[in-house]
Amino acid sequence: MRYQRAMELLTKANGQIDAGTLIPFTRDHYDTYKLPSGKVIDMHQVPFYSSDVVDWYNREWMAQWPKKDTIETSMYIRGVCGHDLGWGATSSTGMMISRPDVPNELGLMLHSYMQPCSSTYVPFYVGITKVDSRYSTPQAAYAFHDIAMRSFGYYKLYHEGIRAAFDPYENQLLTDMPTFEQQYISLRNSGSNEEAQNAINKFVAEKCDSALKAADKALANMEEATVKNSDWEAR
């Protein structure tokens, strides 16, 4: 279902596909889906296990000895993003960008830890010679994993605050990449290879740092949303 939905989105965007087009696709939740019975369910922000469609609890335990080796479990998710599946959820996204008209060093991976709707994309160019130590250890992964685990099952409550933290970073990233790449190409063409190397390392390092600062902001926004929506009172 996710593959079919992805191909549907890609077909509509044929001829206009770039990073700015693909990123929203990875966050696609679809809107509605018609079941074979004709019933239409809302898929946009509703985890499948909390809807009235799937009999989650009665599937959890075996009430009697099985009569066959297999059991059919329907999976109705048609959106590309699997942010609330529990098992089978999206664990990360890697977007590889290869272009014949730029130096090989500008081959690019945009990486998103965990589910992309609760995360953001961090750029890693082929030409970098240094990586932020937080990204070569579990530190960065844990920051995004923390957001995903805290928001699991509470998409409606936390999504707005998460995106308020990540969207400005991401919009700036998509604006800054073409400018930086032209700068890098100019430095290379002028023979300033050392300056070009320093520039590519600096650009990626700054974006890595900004992404983690945005993650901290997302967690702070989630805490604020929790307090505002809590019925607890101090005693």
Provide the pLDDT for residue 48.
Answer: 47
pLDDT single digits (tens) 63-108? 566 677 776 655 556 678 877 665 567 788 999 998 888 999 999 9
Query: Residue 27 corresponds to which amino acid?
Result: R
pLDDT band at 191 (very low <50, low <70, confident <90, very high): very high
Q: Is 115 exposed, middle or buried (0-12, 13-18, 19+ CB in 10 A)?
A: buried
**Angle (deg, nearest 10), helices 193-228 and 155-189:** 170
Tokens of 127: 């030409």
pLDDT single digits (tens) 130-152? 999 999 999 999 999 999 988 88
